[in-house]
Amino acid sequence: MIEVPEESHKLVRDFAGYLRLERGYSENTIEAYMTDIAKWIKFCSNQNLDPIPPRHEYMSRFLKAMASEGKSKASLQRYAAAIRSWNRYLTIEGWVDGEQWLPSLPSKEQKLPRILSEGEIERLISSCRDGSVLGGRDETLFELAYGCGLRASEVCSLALEDIDWRAGTLRVIGKGDKERVVPLLGSVKEKLRHYVDAIRPLLNRREERWLFLTRTGRKLHREDLWRIIRRRGKAAGIPSVRLHPHVLRHSLATHMLRRGLDLRTLQELLGHASISTTERYTHLDLELRDIYDKCHPRA
48 pLDDT higher than 70 = yes
Q: What is the pLDDT, as a whole number, of residue 1?
A: 34
Which position has the higher pLDDT, 223 or 95? 223
What confidence category does residue 95 fall into, taking pLDDT thresholds of 50, 70 and 90? confident
42 pLDDT higher than 80 = yes
CA 183 to each of CA 45, 148, 168, 169: distance values in angstroms, whole numbers, following the listed order? 51, 7, 6, 5
What confidence category does residue 2 fall into, taking pLDDT thresholds of 50, 70 and 90? very low
Strands (E), 149-205: 163-164, 169-173, 179-183
286 pLDDT higher than 70 = no
Q: Pick the most confident of 53-57, 125-129, 282-286.
A: 125-129
Q: What is the pLDDT, as a whole number, of residue 296?
A: 44
Task: State mean pLDDT over 206-222.
Answer: 93
Report pLDDT digits (tens) over 8-26. 667 888 888 888 888 878 7
Mean pLDDT, the chain, whole residue set: 83
Which one is catalytic: 18, 25, 146, 281?
A: 281
> Residue 53: is the preceding peptide bond cis (ω within 30°)?
yes
159 pLDDT higher than 50 = yes
214 pLDDT higher than 70 = yes
- Which domains does the chain show, CATH number per domain? 6-93 (1.10.150.130), 118-295 (1.10.443.10)
30 pLDDT higher than 80 = yes
Show Cβ contacts of residue 236 under 8 Å, excluding neighbours closer than 6 positions: 120, 123, 124, 126, 127
Selection from 245, 247, 257, 248 nearest residue 283 by Cα: 257
Does the annotation count 249 as an active-site position? yes
Q: What is the pLDDT, as a whole number, of residue 218?
A: 94
Sign of CA dihedral 81, 82, 83, 84: positive
Does the annotation count 108 as an active-site position? no
Residue 29 CB neighbours (<10 A): 19
Q: What is the pLDDT, as a whole number, of residue 260?
A: 82
CA 61 to each of CA 50, 66, 76, 150, 231: distance values in angstroms, whole numbers, following the listed order? 13, 9, 12, 38, 40
Does the annotation count 89 as an active-site position? no
Range with lowest mean pLDDT among 100-109, 188-197, 256-265: 100-109
33 pLDDT higher than 60 = yes
Does the annotation count 79 as an active-site position? no
What confidence category does residue 285 fall into, taking pLDDT thresholds of 50, 70 and 90? low
Residue 92 CB neighbours (<10 A): 12
Which one is catalytic: 175, 219, 222, 280?
A: 175
Selection from 145, 113, 94 nearest residue 281 by Cα: 113
- The continuous run of DSSP H or E covering 230 comes out as helix 222-235
Q: What is the pLDDT, as a whole number, of residue 3?
A: 42
Does the annotation count 250 as an active-site position? no
Number of residues in the chain? 299
Task: State mean pLDDT over 165-175.
Answer: 91
Which one is catalytic: 137, 189, 191, 246?
A: 246
Q: What is the pLDDT, as a whole number, of residue 298?
A: 46
Which one is catalytic: 151, 200, 232, 250?
A: 151
Which one is catalytic: 191, 249, 250, 255?
A: 249
Q: Is 170 helix (H, G, I), strand (E, B) or coil?
A: strand
What confidence category does residue 27 fall into, taking pLDDT thresholds of 50, 70 and 90? confident
Report pLDDT digits (tens) over 252-265. 888 888 888 887 88
Does the annotation count 281 as an active-site position? yes
